[in-house]
Homo-oligomer: A and B are copies of this chain.
């Protein structure tokens, strides 16, 4: 049997799902994954694999993969219903928490490896043919490293599990445009 009793979705909900799906690329996830997340988010209900398959018209494999990936990203969790062997899934409801998880994941997956490569490049630039190397090149690599480290640090601060990122952001926005220089 297919979906749990009455899983119907208003047309407007589906448009939300589609809009969110198109946004997938921004978050670095596939369209379907984003749609699955949107579906869980907008309904606010616990849905099972069959519900997702049916509503989004995707295959069982795809639904299973996407749900699992969302759980790995930490923005969807598994829940169980008493007396039901099926697994159900719910999306994190707090937008800021969703954002946190995504930012942290992406830094870990993408910025950190890049930084690792850049450290290697810097180390190769430094010791050996130090005299023959254009000092500007070193400076540029350094600048890039500094910038990415700043990004990672900011990400941690903003998106860290303890950080009240929202307030920080708000206060940042509220401040006046110019900030007194510290140098």
* Chain A residues within 8 Å of B, Cβ to Cβ: 10-13, 15-16, 18-20, 22-23, 25-26, 28, 41-44, 93, 95-96, 99, 106, 110-111, 113-114, 117-118, 120-121, 124-125, 133-134, 136-137, 140-141, 143-144, 146-147, 150, 153-154, 157, 162-164, 167-173, 175, 177-179, 181-182
Contact = CB atoms under 8 A, between A and B. Distances in A.
A44 B169 contact: no
A22 B143 contact: no
B173 A124 contact: no
A12 B118 contact: no
A153 B171 CA distance: 12
A164 B179 contact: yes
B179 A110 contact: no
Interface of A is mostly: helix
Nearest to A170: B182
Contact of A169 (B110, B114, B154): B154
A165 to B, nearest CB: 10
A142 to B, nearest CB: 10
A124 B157 CA distance: 37
Contacts of A125: 12
Given A16-B141, A26-B28, A157-B173, A96 B147 contact: yes
